[in-house]
Chain A
């Protein structure tokens, strides 16, 4: 009973702080604006297809989400352990009956609640506007719902990663640098490196065997492949996304990858926090 209450206290305080720092407002605004911009300016409904604005925007938004959601997730979580060490509050908190595992788990929950709220509001507003203007089909609503749900899962994986980096760095500045580095590597450079390898390999062994597995192993790519593979449109796909059509694994394996990243991140955050002597 008191165990649950103290865990609720940590999560509530994290949530309240994120709210006070205008963090929720900022990220919600960013998600809404980008989603609307994609719907109405970018690859919005082309005359020929006329199919379903919601589905098409979900497809293009899944690419954008890969950049935006991990960034937001890392920004909200990088300070969580290191910042408390620096401010001296970690020693205070760990002097109370709160266990370290409870601390990691509940901070994670608080961060995730914040990110979920921002994604739900941002994509919710954008989805409602698109549906209002262009109408909505069942398939479109399903694609949109899938996008929002998997974006939350992607965010959760990166929050756990950010907390692990925070526990590793133990200094807020270093943790921020590590978080940006992780984002750059996982979201930007990883894909470039794989594409480069494919080009060099010219359809050889690497492209046929290792490449699909390596793409799927990346949380951002797993998220994108999952969403694109389940959207049946003729929307143009490019680069790694072409793999979505020819993936040699069941589509659900992408979700497994995301879940593995999430659990690995949480386990690392817990293990690293246990080693801290505040």
Chain B
């Protein structure tokens, strides 16, 4: 919550009738910083975005964009938004859509049009949006959001439904914007998608902020176990389980979990079984496990 933050959210709560969509969330985003908001559908991500845009009024708490109140002229000029699902009028060309939004934002269309080049759809500028692929429409949406070099980019699941190449290029554009000083706050379902492309993540579940920090830190703090799946030789599954402990998952396999530092010991015990073991498979916790750890398990823990 430094004064330099372009977006500062302080103890924000938003209610729809009896439902609390966002519950006591505090978050700050500094200029040039890329922050990802992670959560399931209904975790409160879109609600938070809409509050930043001034569409929803907080029940309690405060929210400032560059020191200004959401929805004010200053805030509107500072923030650019790309919703998850946006369908631009099919009959307009890409250049016309961009010109339209440039004028809405008080930016000369001449200055805005090169953004089509930035997002890689300059060739299609004169074509009707109706002929665009999903990826091209999303790039047009991003170009729209980049008009006037905003201080804060709000992107609501911007890469859902994009192919991996488009997705990579999308994040490259974001990285360039962030280097130029734009703060990026985006939401996503998937942690693995944003690995190495984001400075910090914030995990939301049921409207509450469960975890916040750099991805590597969160991953270490989670301390998730390693799963070793051992397939026993014909008829030896009882012997394997007796030696290793763990859990039978079907007629022939046993699953053992251990902490990262106990991995070598577990493998040594496994080696003692010799020909009783037909095959082994080691699964390290991946990023989605980390995400599940914070959004699911901790969420239950917090309620108990």
Contact = CB atoms under 8 A, between A and B. Distances in A.
Interface of A: 2, 5-6, 8-10, 13, 16-17, 20-21, 87-89, 91-98, 277-278
Contacts, number: 76
A277 B50 contact: yes
15 contacts: A6-B106, A9-B100, A16-B92, A16-B96, A17-B92, A20-B91, A20-B92, A21-B91, A87-B87, A88-B86, A89-B89, A91-B86, A92-B101, A95-B76, A97-B105
Contacts of A8: 103
Contacts of A92: 81-83, 86, 101, 144
A21 B91 CA distance: 7
B83, B99, B144: which has the most chain A beta carbons within 10 Å? B83
A13 B53 contact: no
A20, A92, A94: which has the most chain B beta carbons within 10 Å? A92
A6 B105 CA distance: 7
A6 B99 CA distance: 11
Contacts of B82: 92
Interface string B71-83: 0010011011111
B83 A10 contact: no
B81 to A, nearest CB: 4
A88 B83 contact: yes
Contacts of B103: 5-6, 8-9
Contacts of A98: 104
B56 interface: yes
Interface string B186-222: 0000000000000000000000000000000000000
Nearest to B109: A9
A188 B118 CA distance: 55
B106 A5 contact: yes
Contacts of A278: 50, 55
A97 B73 contact: yes
A278 to B, nearest CB: 6
A128 B175 CA distance: 62
Contact of B104 (A17, A20, A93): A93
B76, B85, B87, B106: which has the most chain A beta carbons within 10 Å? B106
A223 B246 CA distance: 85
Given A6-B105, A10-B100, A96-B105, 7 more contacts: A9-B104, A16-B92, A16-B96, A91-B50, A91-B86, A96-B101, A97-B73
Give the interface residue-count category, chain B: 20 to 34
A98 B76 CA distance: 9
A96 to B, nearest CB: 4
Contacts of B88: 87, 89
A21 B96 CA distance: 15
A240 to B, nearest CB: 41
Contact of A97 (B53, B77, B84, B87): B77
By Cβ-Cβ distance, the 6 closest A-B pairs, closest first, are A9-B103, A2-B106, A20-B91, A95-B81, A88-B86, A87-B87
Contacts of A16: 91-92, 96
Contacts of B83: 88, 91-92
B55, B56, B84: which has the most chain A beta carbons within 10 Å? B55
A2, A16, A89: which has the most chain B beta carbons within 10 Å? A89
Contacts of B92: 13, 16-17, 20
A10 to B, nearest CB: 7
B53 A94 contact: yes
B97 to A, nearest CB: 9
Nearest to B16: A277
B267 to A, nearest CB: 52
Nearest to A3: B106
Nearest to B50: A277
A95 B80 contact: yes
B81 A91 contact: yes
A88 to B, nearest CB: 4
Contacts of B86: 87-89, 91-92
A94 B86 CA distance: 13
